[in-house]
Amino acid sequence: MSNIAVSEKDLQRFCRDLLKQSLPDEEAEVIAETLVDADLRGVTSHGVQRVAGYLKRMEDGIIERKTDISVVQDSFATALLDANNGWGQVAGVKAMEMAIQKAGQYGTSFVGVSNSNHFGTASFYTRMAAEKGFIGISMTNASPIMVPFGAKEPSLGPNPISISIPAGEGKKPIILDMSTSNVARGKIMVAKKNKESIPEGWAITKDGKQTTDADEAWEGFVLPMGPKGSGLAIIIDILSGVLTGSLFGKRIPRQYDDPYPQQLGHLFGAINIENFGEPELFYQNVLEKIEETISSEPSEGFDQVYMPGDMESQRKKEYKENGIPLSQEIINELRKTGEKYGVDLEHYLSQNKQRN
């Protein structure tokens, strides 16, 4: 299947201008940045292909046009924000900025968000912390479209968690960003749009049978990453949902199926490494750990040993140089969405071709 390469700058301009038709400019900038950042790292499941679904929920009154964040509780090292059914990305950036500020003053901080929506990639926020020399932590609960290990009825989201660890100035941080399911449901959405099959082990049908059909999988449920993924998803649901006073488990409406606000919960953390010892020694040991890992001899069937986040960083470098590859199906959807809001995708693609 042929892809069309679109420059990061042009794709972000299109998404920003599209979102600005309905959202405040500042919020449109944030959301566009998070979506294109996902595509730039090869995480298509959380990229611009979500724009149409986001806007539809907003049009249907399920997401507010403006994110009016209020502070519910604020102590020395913790805080709880209410997103008031606004955009998860906007609330996420605000919460992580607050966590970083508090950790700089008190050593560590956790900031929760209640009454929110899908926030994109979890690592977008942890990288904010790592870029400032803090260890970053983020997690969220999600729609109950994943079955607990051994079950056939869903009661969990594929609740993701990210931890980013700085490695010193000018050095690439370690970036862990993982779903607790075998695959993010967004990848099934991409396969469905591209009319592709999916690998066995990703999902089951609504009747509890294994499937490689993306349409059946979309109507069914994703599988956890074994008992460990299932257990971690439960803990994240409690830390993100129960702790923040948000919805959790089966109470959460399904993002693409139920016409109700999701009221998701997120949790963001920052750790100031200076409060645990000499930063330079920390960075030295982190770099030693990185080298120890990537210098390991690959086992049969592998060419290289990677650190968490390395493959995404490689894609980012490649896509910055050569453009972000988008399938024709996603391009068509962006074009259709743009036409609806009076934003002509061809204008941005023609500029992209002139640059290339």
What are the residue numbers of the active site?
Answer: 118
Q: Are 45 and 184 in contact (CB under 8 A)?
A: yes
DSSP-assigned letter for residue 65: S
Cβ atoms 1, 327 nearer than 8 A? yes
Q: Which H or E run contains 330? A: helix 328-341
3-state secondary structure of 183: coil
What number of residues does the chain have? 356
Q: Exposed/middle/buried for 265, CB within 10 Å: 0-12, 13-18, 19+?
A: buried
Report d(CA 337, CA 345) in Å as an integer: 9
| CA distance linking residue 313 with residue 76, whole number of Å | 35
Instruction: Return the structure tokens found at 187.
Output: 């990848």
Distance CA 346, CA 118 (A): 28
Structure tokens at 218: 């979309």
* Contact call for residues 32 and 16 (beta carbons, < 8 A): yes
Distance CA 26, CA 10 (A): 18
* Cβ contacts of 311 within 8 Å, gap of 6 or more: 42
Q: Cα(141)–Cα(247) distance, rounded to whole angstroms?
A: 9
Which tokens is 180 given?
Answer: 């607790």
Could you give the CA distance from residue 89 to residue 28 in angstroms, rounded to a whole number? 10
